[in-house]
């Protein structure tokens, strides 16, 4: 099976199938996908998601401003359940108070990811529930498919028992296409302005960032399962998730 799905209008669409999980199991193929923005998909792309990949649920992690900027694209007209679950919905970094922005700039990317996980607990819990209850295949995405999507992927893979080394490798895989992803986003005036205000390490997908994030979860909660429990995700939800996505 092919992990990276080649699409004309998307640069970072990947199947999470095949990763080893707890108790000798593995993630099933064609159940859960991660991606960058889906608004530029071509007609053949749409047909592939619908007919070949069996997508029934779309989880959009972008902010309301991003959704309004680029829209949902051609999938809006498909019979797929759409879930807008922004992990943050505030202003762009350029609009932040200068002192707050300076404090954020001093943080590592892993620290910013962990801060996002802390502040977005209700949204992250909702994403896990949607994945557990999706009728067919489900894809979650943001704009680049690296940061917000990367945090969700780390939480999802960890709670399913995927070893840390595989989670780190999955995160770092975005680096292969990151230049092209950034180039596409910079073609949009809205994102071009945003990139100018981002700390330099935001434009990388280094393995060490994910190693540090997983360590933060272990230090703060003992496990990602305990983190999700603190977010209100009960054992019955995780049982449905495992039944759906594990072979």
CA distance 63 to 66: 5
**166-202 confidence digits (pLDDT tens):** 999 999 999 999 889 888 887 876 676 676 666 767 7
Is there a domain that residue 22 lies in? yes
* Burial class of 30 by CB neighbour count within 10 A (0 to 12, 13 to 18, 19+): middle
Is there a domain that residue 52 lies in? yes
Is there a domain that residue 3 lies in? no
The pLDDT confidence band at residue 93, using thresholds 50, 70 and 90, is: very low
The pLDDT confidence band at residue 55, using thresholds 50, 70 and 90, is: very high
Is there a domain that residue 19 lies in? yes
CA distance 156 to 87: 15
Is there a domain that residue 155 lies in? yes
CATH code, domain carrying 40: 3.90.190.10
Helix H or strand E encompassing 100: helix 98-106
Q: Provide the domain limits for residue 111.
A: 14-245
From residue 37, give the alpha-carbon distance in Å to each of 3, 7, 8, 114, 141.
Answer: 17, 12, 12, 22, 6
Q: How many separate domains does the chain show?
A: 1
**Phi, psi at 56, each rounded to 5°:** -115, -25
Q: Which of 66, 59, 99 is CA-nearest to residue 80?
A: 59
Is there a domain that residue 4 lies in? no
Is there a domain that residue 5 lies in? no
Is there a domain that residue 113 lies in? yes
**116-169 confidence digits (pLDDT tens):** 999 999 999 999 999 999 999 999 999 999 999 999 999 999 999 999 999 999
CA distance 106 to 166: 28
Structure confidence at residue 125 (pLDDT): 98
pTM for the structure as a whole: 0.92
DSSP bridge partners of 82? 58
Give buried/exposed letters for 2-18 (b at 16+ CB in 10 A, else e): eeebebebbbbbbbbbe
């Amino acid at each position: 099976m092919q992990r990276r799905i080649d699409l004309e209008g998307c640069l970072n669409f990947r199947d999470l199938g095949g990763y080893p999980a707890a108790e000798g199991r593995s993630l099933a193929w064609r159940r859960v996908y991660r991606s960058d923005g889906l608004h530029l998909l071509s007609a053949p792309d749409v047909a592939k998601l619908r007919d070949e990949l069996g997508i029934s649920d779309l989880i959009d992690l972008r902010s309301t401003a991003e959704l309004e900027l680029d829209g949902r694209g051609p999938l809006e007209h498909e019979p797929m359940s759409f879930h807008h679950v922004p992990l943050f919905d505030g202003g762009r970094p350029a609009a932040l108070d200068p002192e707050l922005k300076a404090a954020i700039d001093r943080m590592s990317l892993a620290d910013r990811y962990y801060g996002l996980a802390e502040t977005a607990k209700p949204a992250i819990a909702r994403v896990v529930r949607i994945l557990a209850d999706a009728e067919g295949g489900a894809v979650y995405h943001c704009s680049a498919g690296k940061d917000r999507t990367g945090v969700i992927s780390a939480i999802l893979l960890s709670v399913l028992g995927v070893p840390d080394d595989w989670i780190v490798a999955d995160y770092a895989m975005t680096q292969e296409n990151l230049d092209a992803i950034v180039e596409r986003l910079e073609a949009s005036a809205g994102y071009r302005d945003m990139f100018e205000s981002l700390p330099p390490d935001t434009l990388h997908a280094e393995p060490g960032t994910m190693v540090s994030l997983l360590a933060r979860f272990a230090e703060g909660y003992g496990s990602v399962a305990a983190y999700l429990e603190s977010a209100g995700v009960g054992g019955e939800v995780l049982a449905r998730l495992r039944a759906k996505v594990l072979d």
